[in-house]
Structure 1
Amino acid sequence: MGDKRRPVDPAAGLESDSSADLEDAFDRISDAAYSLDYELQSIAVNDRARALFGRTGDDETTAVAASTTETIRSLFGDAHERALESQQPIIVEQLHDTTGTWLEARCYPDETGVTVLVREITGRKEREQTLVDGNRRLRSIVQDAHDAILISDDDGEIVAANPAASELLGLECSALSGRSLEEFVHDDYDVESAWTALREQGRLRDSVSLSRPDGTERIVEYNAVADVLPGSHLTIFRDVTDNRRRERQLDRQRERLAALDHVNHVVREINDAIVDGSNRAQLERVACESLADSPSYEFAFIADVDARSKQITHRVEAGIDDYVETIPLSTDADDPAGRGPAGTAIRTGTMQVSNDVLSDPSFEPWHEDAREHGYASAAAIPITHDDILYGVLGVTSARRNAFTDEEQDVIGQLGDILGHAIAALERRRVLLGEELIELELVIDDAVEIFDGPSMSGRSVWFDRVIRIDDEQYLEYGTTAAETFPVVETLVESVSHWDGVTVIDKSAGEVTFELTISEPPMIGVIDAYGGYVKSAAIEDGDYTTTVRFSTGTDVRDVVDEITAVYPGMRTVARRQVTPPRESIEQLQTRLAETLTDRQQVALKTAYYGGYFEWPRHSSGEEVANAMGVTPATFHEHLREAQRKLITAILEEPTLLDRDQSDDP
């Protein structure tokens, strides 16, 4: 190739006629242009090139031309050589430091040299840099984003994922590539319908549960955009699992608070019914209807249990009809129908719950019933007082885990409240009933049972038993003065006798107060709503007369007492009708009993405000009004009060009928 090249002096080249002709041709080109020979010596440069490289034709000199040539070589020399060597066009970009501009050179080689077209591309380079910077920031945002970002193709396969997506789905980004997004979506989500909606609408927002390879699940909200690039679809997932859990916790807390409020309302309804003097049936009806009317519960019922046959029978239902008669119920632990909440509650005397009835094996006999009536939880609450079972309260709820924590504690109190109220009603029936069942019971050689002192030839009479609380009782009695020391010794022998206190000694007799804790016999009698009319120890034998309402199963009473005192026997059973005095009769009896001065003292004290609190008149002021000394006034008043209380508390002679000795 050397014989085809003609060396050209740089200065001479720029001044030659041929270069002038070439420059004339270059001047007709809109871009800056120059030509170099095979030795990379300048042949021609147009004005646009001179201007682009910081030189103009007005100050053209040999030195300037050489400087321009040097600038060209410094900027694009390497490109010239590569173009000549490869004999292929080359495009290069270069920053011109002198002017601070970006230039693009298109080099077109041939066997004799290279022709170069140059244009300024500063604006384009700035735009490209801006795009690069933007893309870099975008990649950084995507990589650092807390939300999971996935790109999938038309087949639903993942083609790109950010680190948050890797963490969400539990796989490395490289492992996600090529996997189908559908494999992570929970089975209950209709992926096909969602995909169709996305393609039709272009965007889709929804929430879905994702299943990770380790078996855990995450709840996400997603925003999908179709065809962000042709055939590429963007989905952004936000993990809301913790938020949803907190929301569910708050919902459950609200449900529990509402349920607690509903149960407390039921308690208030029952208390109101007690205050209003409702009978047992009315109390049970109020309890069931209040529960069934509550949004927290589906229905409620109260069932009774026959003590001997152990059969469970219907008493009251609300929110449902004929329920107890149509479902299997039993108290037998060997019967599947007896291993559910109701049967277990009856046997154990404790509240039983099933907080997810459809997954509870012991609730299997009632699974179909739960589906039919739409309840998810069930509770059985024994209605008891003093270990006496009055029935079982059943409650159902559509909520799973309804009977937990505070709600279980509060609703469990309904059994105690109803039991206490029913027991009180039974005692009231005994005290106010027109007909009562009276039993005479005897424990032979009772003192010997406790290894007590000999009571031969001695007698102790017990006049009244008063219940202080669930465990403590006070019993009042009298005995001969010489027998009282033996009673004190007997107190030390009887485990449930805590102590004895002398109240009065007169006429050779001692009136005493006996403190008792959890007495076996009296506790049973009290639990069944009965009371002790009289009792005595004579020659070491203990005899007592007790009374119950006519609805009491006295066989159960006798069985429970006999379990404690096997030697006890029933010597008589009869029905009695206590006479009831009217207010007028009571006033007449008091008028006959009180002396004139006692009546004056009582009336003056009453109308003078002596019994008010704070008192309107002092004892001295009332005494002055009566014209007597304060001591005389108090003597008359105390005696009048004693006779009044005696007339109210002491029972008149009983009228017995049906004097049968049926044991």
Structure 2
Amino acid sequence: MFRTLFNYSTDAVFVEDPRTGEILDVNDTATRQLGYSREELLDLTVADIDTELPTMEDYQAFVTNLKDDGHTTFDGTHRRKDGSTFPVEVNVSYIELDQLERGYVLALSRDVTERKRAEERIRENEAALERLNVGTQELIDAAPEEMRLRTADIAQSVLDVEYAGLWLYDETIGELDEYASRTSPEIDPDTVQLPTNLPDRVWQTFVSDDVDIENDVEGSGRETGTAPLRSRVLVPLGRHGVICVGSTQSDTFDDRLVDLVETVATTVETAWNRADGEANLKQQNAELARVDRLNILIREIDQALVRAETVESIDEAVCEHLAESALFEFAWIGEFDAAGDTVAAREWAGIDGTSLEQLTTSEESVWYESQVITAVRTDEVQVVADTATDPRASSWREAALESGARSCICIPLVYGESIYGVLVVYGRTPQPDERNVDVLSELGETIAHAIHAVETRVTQHTDSVVELTLQTTAEMPLVRLSLETDCVIEFEGAVPRDDGDMTVFFTAKDVSPNEVMAASEQSLVIKELSQLAQQDTGSKFKARLATSTLASKLLEQGATIRSLNIDAGTATAVVELPEAADVREFVEGVKRDVPDLDLLARQSQTRPPDKEQRLQTTFKQRLTPRQQEILQLAYRSGYFESPRVQTGKELSDALDLSQSTFNYHLRGGERKLLAMVFDHDPEA
């Protein structure tokens, strides 16, 4: 038992003879760290592995001091069998055993390579930021032309890379060319060889306004006397151009260095904008004020939605707040008739009914086909940037301009598979800002969510429910997996994906994780399977499925899943429905996709007020579907565990989102959850 515990220590353990410095015993961690076998280490002395105590005299002096103190801790360096060294933190004690009438030195050594690297990165960051501060002062005091010349120099100096270049956009001819470059003093500028596709990648970065990172550049020549870039980062500078920084080594740009590149780019762009003059600064201030007004408007609408008790009050509050805002002229909400493929206004504000009718129901108008109906059919926002010039507005242009509308945004109100109408907002100025569109798109999701919550509030808060026990052997993905591995599967949750797939979380019992992974590799519908944790109750997995599951069918029919267990190919689910629900219609709805579903039991239950259920209901009311999806995926994937099971980058990749977009929705959801706790609302 002692030997097992000894070997399981994550620190290297050495037992040493204080008289000779001989190594008397070591654990397995010591052999792994140093590259010796145990037998080889027992033939060595401390001086063979500790560079801080290279001689016997040094070791004896160290032991003498150790006997006086009894214990000490110090940073040192150990030498491996291959001659390489690594930093360690050593905790040493002098121990006398009376029964053996002699003393021993016990040393616990911890490999602190990663800690030292982290400290070095911190020092590098601090030095880079100090250089950036100096460069920032230069930019603040520089004229625009001097700034263009100094940008590449400052980027290369701050980042300490081999190459930095500024690609400047010429607005008069609409082209993007390298304006200035700087190489490190160690490299001849004439030998630097840029990737052949760099101009195309720079242009794409400028157009998309996205950072472009490549750590293994292909196609760079390697002729004698050249220094090809093997890794590079492109960062846009707004309307000014693009910064390119590169290295002749692969895998140079990790997250830390990329963040620093973006910081340099942000600093340059900010200084450049400042140098363009006070007019631009005033424009930015006006834009910030507009964004602030928009945020205030959205908060006011959100508060009104929380208080609303009916769909009519939701419609009225949304239209009135939008119309009263200085940002918009008027707004209306339309009801979609799927049978007739038409939309009829059900609430409006800022415009009278007669003018609205002229605007939307002109006989020669193709308005419904081109904008409103398209928004409903595609579930995507439709924008008419300028009613005075957009050809799609030709038939209703006169009525729009007479009403003061210079732009139009159509936002579908969609929640899940249901369409709750369309919100049409008219702006006072042409060319609505993209942030307007993004914010109003989010608002559309929130409105649809609120309407759904109002329509289902009575059933969600009822204390009486019908409990159904259902069973099936249909060969759905998890049922087949249970049958093939002869294990018990407990369903824990599911997150729908935008691409139509489903992310499912479950625990597999009485089976090894390897068996589950092997079985999943043979499945055509399990696209991805990863183990999240090993628990006493079994192994927790996350699976990406290319087809529907029993759980998704139950949820689609409005059931609350209390439990779903799969054993030997048979799935048994216990679900709840509101007391007023039509059980036959529910079962038949599920049977359309799961024909062999059997209803084993049905009974009425009376529940006490369920605070957890109320919290879940509020959660669904307050958060947008995207925020719910990202929070649930992060929670069930172990993002909030310590250490994290999966990182934000892995989750954003799984959702096919940029990490900044993932963080935006995650933090938005967290902020709303915290508001539910700290901004106490008695009605919540």
Normalising by structure 2, we get a TM-score of 0.37
Larger Rg: 1
Normalising by structure 1, we get a TM-score of 0.38
